[in-house]
Amino acid sequence: MKSTVIVIGAGIAGLSAAYTLSKRGIPVKVLEASRRVGGRMSTDILDCYVIDRGAQFLSSEYPLLLSYVRELGLDVSLRETSQVNGVVRDGKVRKARTGNALDALASGLLSLNDWMKLGWQFGSRRNQLLSLPLNDYSQWEPFDTETAARWCTRAVSATATDYFLEPMLQGLYFQSPEEVSKSLAFAVAAFGMGGGKTLTLAGGIGCLPEALAARLDVTLDARVTSLEIGDTGVVVEAGDRRYRAEYVVLATTASVAGTLYPKATMHERALLATPYSSNITIALMLPCGTPLPDPLGDVYGLLIPRREREVIAAVGIEANKCRDRAKGGQLLHVMLCGEASRRMLSLPDAGIVGNSLPELERYFPGVSDLVSSYRVYRWPEAEPLSAVGRATDIARYRAWGEAARRRVILAGDYMSMPFTEGAAESGAWAGGLIHSFC
């Protein structure tokens, strides 16, 4: 008799786990607490605006998610975004094309000395960096020895930390280089070294988890309240229903998993204690005919370093991601930094927007008078904090888990790289591990 599996959580990690198991012929059921799949990888459609609620893009360096895109027939919807991004320095937008290292020097973002030192830091490790998987954070354990800030300030300069490293880590993960391990900084740099291109899906990034869910047995509005773990299986309680399975994939955030799984071992507790950064993203809808300021006409992502910012870490110009995001108009995704997001989570929507527009006016003059509508997305747990030690803890858990044959397997964004491809990889790993037990 084939083993049965319950997956708790229908974010991309849980869906990836279930899809991996389903393809291998193992009966699997997914329980999701909310009324939609995808978690932070989801999309709202409002009139003619397509709004990616949390996760914003894919990459040509995402092998697992792109394999799902092809298998599900979504490759016809795959689009390459504008590969031009900008970083503010001294009040001016410094443009850089994805994968073009010279642009950081030519634009004035970095001095010649800092540019050469950074080039040496990454270039001297090129072969090693390109040999490591960009979706399996456990493989980056050799770099998990100090914070990104300590490494960059020592090896390059404090200015490089503030204008190269900090805006990237804050704009993508809402975390400071003082909070983040060097391993994540090197992994993110490897995307550019490998020639990665930023991609998206026409119709929104949420199309992918929705297509996965359509192939699976998913029950929505099924909040799991307890797990009873025995020698031969697990009883999962969700509302007035009880489900029995031989194995469970716990594919939620670390905090939810810790609540459901209080009898975790030492290896598991270290990861279940992972804290998260917070984020607030404001989707500003601008009417048809709204032009972009000249410096930003071809820019997709604008990063604002801490030396330049008040509350905004990044702005996504969505029409330059994919034209379908704002047919005829403009859609701006204004992403607040982690600290400002935590501070403003409890404010009403109007207060959050009001606190953000004055700073946005510096880069989009007159935008306050052009906003036709807006939507505010709050993510108290936006991204798992990649502090020093997390890659090491994941590596230890995986080595231990393969031998321990546990009934409950952990998956989720905190169990691999802190982005969608990493979360999906953690789910695929969990599914593969259970398959090896069966």
pLDDT at 350: 98
Asked if 43 and 50 count as a contact pair (C-beta separation under 8 A), the reply is yes
Distance CA 161, CA 141 (A): 22
pLDDT at 1: 39
pLDDT at 103: 94
Task: List Cα–Cα distances, 133 to 62, 104, 138, 391, 417, in angstroms.
Answer: 10, 25, 9, 13, 10
Residue 202: which region, alpha, beta or left (left: phi > 0; alpha: psi -120 to 50)? Answer: beta
CB 365: neighbour CB atoms within 10 A? 10
Q: 294-327 as b/e, with b when 16 or more CB fall inside 10 Å?
A: eebeebbbbbbbbebbebbbbbbbbbbbbebbbe
| The amino acid at 227 | L
pLDDT in tens, 318-366: 999 998 999 878 999 999 999 999 999 999 999 999 999 999 999 999 9
Among candidates 174, 249, 257, 204, which has minimal Cα distance to 36?
A: 204
| The amino acid at 79 | R
Three-state SS for 255?
helix
- The alpha carbon torsion through 291, 293, 295, 296 (nearest 10 deg) reads -50
Distance CA 331, CA 316 (A): 8
pLDDT at 289: 85
Three-state SS for 395?
helix
Domains of the chain: 5-40+205-274+386-437 (3.50.50.60), 84-193 (1.10.3110)
pLDDT at 327: 85
pLDDT at 98: 87
Residue 281: which region, alpha, beta or left (left: phi > 0; alpha: psi -120 to 50)? Answer: beta
Asked if 268 and 254 count as a contact pair (C-beta separation under 8 A), the reply is no
Instruction: Give strand pairing partners of 200.
Output: 79
pLDDT tens per residue across all 438 residues of the chain = 356 999 999 999 999 999 999 999 999 999 999 999 999 999 999 988 999 999 999 999 999 999 999 999 999 999 999 999 999 999 999 999 988 889 999 999 999 999 999 999 999 999 999 999 999 999 999 999 999 999 999 999 999 999 999 999 999 999 999 999 999 999 999 988 878 899 999 999 999 999 999 999 999 999 999 999 998 999 999 999 999 999 999 999 999 999 999 889 998 999 999 999 999 999 999 998 899 999 999 999 999 999 999 999 999 999 999 989 998 789 999 999 999 999 999 999 999 999 999 999 999 999 999 999 999 999 999 999 999 999 999 999 999 988 888 999 999 999 999 999 999 999 999 999 999 998
Distance CA 13, CA 422 (A): 8
CB-based contacts of 154-157 (< 8 A; 24+ apart in sequence): 155/117, 155/121, 156/114, 156/117, 156/118, 156/121, 157/113, 157/114, 157/117
pLDDT at 3: 62
